[in-house]
Amino acid sequence: MKIKYSHFWLPKAGNTASTCEDAFFPYNFPFDTISHDPKYQRYAIADGASTAYLSGLWATVLVDGFGSYSDEITNTNFFDLIQTLILTENWNPQLADYIKKREDEGKPLSWYDEMALQNGAASTLLVISFSLEEKEVKDNFSVLAIGDSCLFQVRNNELITKFPLNSSADFDNSPLLISNDPKRNEPLQEKISYLVNQSLLPGDKLFLMTDALASWFFQEYEKENKPWEIIEEQIVDKASFENWIEQLRENKLMRNDDVTLMILTVQGES
Amino acid sequence: MGYVEISRRNPTCYVFLIDQSGSMAEKVADDPNKSKADKLKDFINRFLTNLVVGCTKADGVRDYFYVSVIGYGLNVGSAFIGPLANKDLVPISEIADKPARIEERLKEDGAGGVVKTKFPIWFDAVADGQTPMCHALNMTKGILEGWLAQHPNCHPPIVVNITDGAATDGNPLVPADELKNLKSSEGNVLLYNIHLSSGFATPIKFPNSEANLPEQYAQQLYAMSSPLTEDQINYANKTHEMNIEKDSKGFVYNADPVSVFLALDIGTKMASPQDTPEIKGDTPEH
């Protein structure tokens, strides 16, 4: 089996693309750095917290770091990976680049930048892993999440998996967030949502989305609608996606927030 | 009820009314080196710091809020000093760039040691004169009339009055009611009151009736206070594990430093946490 993949994103109304704090993998990641014979194929989305500083950069570091990781990711090695792989190899150099860029632009960090930096960046993360055998996707997947970015799996036009939340009532304004400060992540150890050995069949569709769209998805489903059908009817390209999201916002059916959607379609024979 | 989202296109404002009368020179019970005016100075300067930091993004400080700090004592007017002296409502980005000075303080690092931290100062402790609270409320009304004319659809402005004594220039209920009658399309101006204690009396936090208030003066401040919003009550009950009832008012009587912090944190909570900075923990300073 193979995965056909499409992605859509739109910043919060009133904001520019450069201030969008959602991130997803693969996007800008340099693919030539990935092993030629990988064991896993991964997709990831993250929603940087708008209340924290440099959360968009942190979200990007998370999706790139986990999306391109070459070995197994489980709930037991997850935080070790954050600490070692991300903080040491990815985050600190990116932060150093940002600080240097500010200095080069004649806008060195001020007292409030420094304090905001001390408070730390924060983001949700959802990463889905497909095992590969001779470059073909095997018939199961695992998925891991912190926070309210969601996965929905649809088979034969029925919703068979919702993860990690179960209903629109599960959303609130303080989702679990991964911090760039390892000490703040300690309480999260027990709170990782993790599914393993989930069945995968040709024709399955997997929808990965950040909270504003996920909340809409649940609300439609709770009204006994099939939101995946609405998504597929509405979205044919980038422009139709953007128009549709803008309409949902205008009609108050969706909170004004950055939106990311990835659609994975499983193709081939089992 | 949910309020409109706070954004740079639709900012809102905070006004702090700071009692600067002579009695604010009294020392506080739990810290004999500091007066009530010193403590209040630290609270509001720290609040401004947290507000600035919360509005700081990679592209700069976003003007979600405008802030006014009005002192009332020997004089009534802007309490800002330094480059912001005499200014009434100041955008948060300008507050960020124009503190009067930046002090260095030590704070606990959470691992048994201390670290240096920057402590910007926008106004100093003042304790002189009487308590012209009515004058301060009237001045606030003028400021907010101007603001609301320009921002008719903003989140209702929040006014926090912090005092240790009774008004000496009349009945504050009258200007307080006039102030609370001002409104945006989203709702009326919210006026909260924090009464500072200098002793060890037990604070009365967010009451929902006058029944347990000990004196007429406390009842007057209670009557002046707006109810807390649903968002603030939910926030207090979740984050601070409190048990605040639905019709409770934004009023604390005999507030000690911990309850001043709590009242500021809850009373300044706006409806859109997506855009609203969190007040971080009240780390002790030395």
Contact B127, B35 (CB under 8 A): yes
Tokens of B244: 């605040």
- Nearest residue, CB atoms, B277 vs list A51, A114, A183: A51
Instruction: HSE, CB side, 13 Å, CA atoms: give it for residue B197.
Output: 19
The answer to whether residue B146 sits within a structural domain is yes
The answer to whether residue B153 sits within a structural domain is yes
Residues of chain B found within 8 Å of residue A115, distances taken between Cβ atoms: 49, 53, 56, 117-118
Instruction: HSE, CB side, 13 Å, CA atoms: give it for residue A4.
Output: 8
Residues of chain A found within 8 Å of residue B96, distances taken between Cβ atoms: 110, 112
Using the beta-carbon criterion (under 8 Å), do B7 and A51 form an inter-chain contact? no
- State the pLDDT at residue B89: 97
Using the beta-carbon criterion (under 8 Å), do A115 and B7 form an inter-chain contact? no
- Residue owning tokens 């609608």: A225
- Nearest residue, CB atoms, A112 vs list B56, B58, B276: B56
Contact B63, B8 (CB under 8 A): yes
The domains found in chain A, sorted by start residue, are 2-267 (3.60.40.10)
The answer to whether residue B56 sits within a structural domain is yes
Among chain A residues, the shortest Cα distance to B8 is held by A14
- State the pLDDT at residue A264: 95
Tokens of B218: 């406390």
CA distance A126 to A28: 18
The pLDDT tens digits for A170-213 are 998 789 999 998 888 888 888 999 999 999 999 999 999 999 99
Q: Give the contacts of A191 (CB within 8 A, at least 6 positions apart).
A: A146, A176
- Number of folded domains in chain B? 1
Residues of B with CB under 8 A from a CB of A: 5, 7-9, 49, 52-54, 56-59, 61, 96-97, 102, 110, 117-118, 120, 238-239, 273-278, 280
The answer to whether residue B1 sits within a structural domain is no
Better-predicted residue by pLDDT, B114 or A159? A159
Residues of chain A found within 8 Å of residue B278, distances taken between Cβ atoms: 51
CA distance A174 to chain B (A): 9
Record the pTM: 0.82
CA distance A116 to chain B (A): 5
* CATH number, residue B185: 3.40.50.410
User: B57, B64, B275, B280: best mutation site toward chain A, by most A Cβ within 10 Å?
Assistant: B57
Res A29 pLDDT > 70: no
- State the pLDDT at residue B276: 36
Residues of chain B found within 8 Å of residue A257, distances taken between Cβ atoms: 274
Radius of gyration of chain A from its Cα atoms, rounded to whole angstroms? 18
Residues of chain B found within 8 Å of residue A174, distances taken between Cβ atoms: 238-239, 273
Distances (CA, A) of B246 to B180, B240, B261: 19, 16, 21
CA distance A62 to B238: 29
CA distance B150 to A3: 53
The answer to whether residue B119 sits within a structural domain is yes
Using the beta-carbon criterion (under 8 Å), do B53 and A115 form an inter-chain contact? yes
Residues of chain A found within 8 Å of residue B274, distances taken between Cβ atoms: 50-51, 173, 255, 257
Among chain B residues, the shortest Cα distance to A172 is held by B273
The pLDDT tens digits for A53-84 are 899 999 999 999 999 888 999 999 998 898 87
Using the beta-carbon criterion (under 8 Å), do A112 and B96 form an inter-chain contact? yes
The answer to whether residue B39 sits within a structural domain is yes
* Residue range of the domain that includes B192: 12-267
Residue ranges of chain B whose pLDDT lies below 70: 1-2, 199-200, 271-286
The pLDDT tens digits for B205-216 are 999 998 888 888
- State the pLDDT at residue A251: 93
Among chain B residues, the shortest Cα distance to A252 is held by B4
Among chain A residues, the shortest Cα distance to B95 is held by A112
Q: What SS3 state is found at B38?
A: helix
A/B interface, count of CB pairs below 8 Å: 55
- State the pLDDT at residue B271: 53
User: A115, A179, A256, A257: best mutation site toward chain B, by most B Cβ within 10 Å?
Assistant: A115
Helix axes B133-150, B173-181, angle to 10 degrees: 10
Tokens of B71: 């002192």
Q: What SS3 state is found at A127?
A: strand
- Nearest residue, CB atoms, B102 vs list A111, A256, A257: A111
Using the beta-carbon criterion (under 8 Å), do B273 and A173 form an inter-chain contact? yes
Residues of chain A found within 8 Å of residue B120, distances taken between Cβ atoms: 111
Better-predicted residue by pLDDT, A167 or A38? A167
Among chain B residues, the shortest Cα distance to A107 is held by B60
Average the pLDDT over A125-140 and give the result: 93
Average the pLDDT over A98-105 and give the result: 94
CA distance B79 to B45: 11
Residues of chain B found within 8 Å of residue A19, distances taken between Cβ atoms: 57-59
CA B100 to chain centre: 19
- State the pLDDT at residue A52: 84
Question: For residue A182, which of A80, A96, A97 has the smallest C-alpha distance?
Answer: A80
If phi > 0 it is left, if psi is from -120 to 50 it is alpha, else beta; for residue A70 that is alpha
Q: Could you tell me whether strands A2-10 and A259-267 are parallel, antiparallel, or unpaired per DSSP bridges?
A: antiparallel
Looking at every residue in chain A, the average pLDDT score rounds to 91
Using the beta-carbon criterion (under 8 Å), do B57 and A53 form an inter-chain contact? yes
- State the pLDDT at residue A28: 62
The answer to whether residue B257 sits within a structural domain is yes
The answer to whether residue B283 sits within a structural domain is no
